[in-house]
Homo-oligomer: A and B are copies of this chain.
Amino acid sequence: MAISLSLSELAQRIDGKIICGEAGSLFSGMAALDMAGADDISFLGNEKYLPQFLATKAGAVLVPTGYDFNTNGPALIAVENPSLAFGIVVKHFAAQAKSFRAGVHPSVSVSTNALFDPDKVCLHPGVVIMDGVSIGDGSEIGANTVIHENVVIGRDCNIGSNVTVRERSVLGDRVAIQPGAVIGSDGYGYEFSGGRHVKIDQVGIVEIGDDVEIGANTTIDRARFGKTIIGEGTKIDNLVQIGHNVVIGRHCLIVSQSGLAGSSKIEDYVTVAAQVGIVGHVVVGSKAILTARTGVTTDLEGGITYSGKPALPIKEDTKIQAHVRRLPQMLKRIKSLEKLLSRVD
């Protein structure tokens, strides 16, 4: 929170246009509309916050282009995407995320035949690196994280604390894994035989593309054989379950507490909102959007927004749900008809 920004510097950095305020005014911090003071920069990212905007004590506010604001209050800068622009402000002011410092803490357990340059990776206390692991330059591995045999980790990865990556998983470059996640756990597969569930060997791996992010305490099972695949650029939230042999395309979003059952496939640019369930062995087409808690039980065409269980195009599902809420009224109308007809009879 060190270096102040003037209004004009601010406008320049975020490629915005000063609507009102003096170019030389200085701002030293950032905060939400309802918590900001005269030294703070804030932003209006969502119309829902209009009341807070109108009451804000912020020194300067980033607002969307084209809005016609009338305030006697803060300095205003118009930008196309205030939320994105505020990210630049955050980058400027934030206590610098601790910069990468190479080094291997003495408490780290490293197998003799692991492959990495100790001057170019950062292994925090209590990390366990097993046989045959390779780690790319610039990668950081959080405290008490366990990397099992023959795992391959790319460059500039950021793996959090208390993570487990099981044997033979392959991670691309710039992969980020939040604390507590488990990569490569055994898939859930049993055959029922002789009155017991007999485990089916799970000997495949998990393969994670470049720029993937995986949330805290999320679990990704390795394939029965072959690969569970998370495509390049896909972002997975916390507490998500990815079953064995699932194939996820590139640049998908998978929000918290969703579950993808074994061998399901989602193509590129799919959005899976929170608490969604997808059964095994189905395909969700590219750019499909599954709204929160959708239950997918069959293949779904891409490019469409779905909701409900079973999943329907959202318009259809919304219409049906509106009818459900009118059911008591429908029954009354049936009763009226029955009364009328009993008279007619």
Give the contact stretch, choosing among A15-23, A64-72, A82-90: A82-90
Question: Looking across the interface, which residue of chain B has its beta carbon closest to that of A98?
Answer: B149
Whether A226 lies near B32 (C-beta < 8 A) is: yes
A161 vs B234: C-alpha distance when bound (angstroms)? 26
A245 vs B295: C-alpha distance when bound (angstroms)? 28
A326 vs B195: C-alpha distance when bound (angstroms)? 39
Given contacts A185-B216, A274-B261, contact A146 B164 (CB under 8 A): no
A3 within 8 A of B: no
Whether A253 lies near B128 (C-beta < 8 A) is: no
Whether B188 lies near A90 (C-beta < 8 A) is: no
Contacts of A166 in B (CB 8 A): 161, 179
Question: Looking across the interface, which residue of chain B has its beta carbon closest to that of A241?
Answer: B256
Interface residues in A302-324 (C-beta closer than 8 Å to B) = 309-310, 312, 319-321, 323-324
A28 within 8 A of B: no
Whether A216 lies near B216 (C-beta < 8 A) is: no
Whether A201 lies near B90 (C-beta < 8 A) is: yes
A267 within 8 A of B: no
A44 vs B268: C-alpha distance when bound (angstroms)? 27
Question: Looking across the interface, which residue of chain B has its beta carbon closest to that of A317?
Answer: B325
A160 within 8 A of B: yes
Question: Looking across the interface, which residue of chain B has its beta carbon closest to that of A89?
Answer: B225
Cβ contact of A144, chosen from B162, B235, B245, cutoff 8 A: B162
Whether B281 lies near A185 (C-beta < 8 A) is: no
Given contacts A180-B182, A217-B180, A331-B323, contact A259 B274 (CB under 8 A): yes
Contacts of A233 in B (CB 8 A): 196-197
A136 within 8 A of B: no
A340 within 8 A of B: yes
A115 within 8 A of B: no
Contacts of A325 in B (CB 8 A): 312, 320
How far is the CB of A216 from the nearest CB of chain B, in Å? 4
A126 within 8 A of B: yes
A4 within 8 A of B: no
A199 within 8 A of B: yes
Contacts of A73 in B (CB 8 A): none
A54 within 8 A of B: no
Whether B235 lies near A190 (C-beta < 8 A) is: yes
Contacts of A333 in B (CB 8 A): 334, 338
Question: Looking across the interface, which residue of chain B has its beta carbon closest to that of A233?
Answer: B196
Interface residues in A117-137 (C-beta closer than 8 Å to B) = 124-126, 128, 130
A95 vs B204: C-alpha distance when bound (angstroms)? 10
A255 within 8 A of B: yes
- Please list 29 pairs of residues, one from A and one from B, whose beta carbons are closer than 8 Å in the complex, sorted by A's number: A83-B191, A84-B191, A84-B200, A90-B200, A97-B201, A109-B126, A109-B143, A128-B143, A143-B146, A161-B166, A162-B180, A162-B182, A182-B238, A188-B256, A190-B235, A217-B219, A238-B241, A241-B257, A259-B274, A275-B275, A275-B277, A323-B327, A323-B330, A323-B331, A333-B338, A340-B341, A340-B344, A340-B345, A341-B344
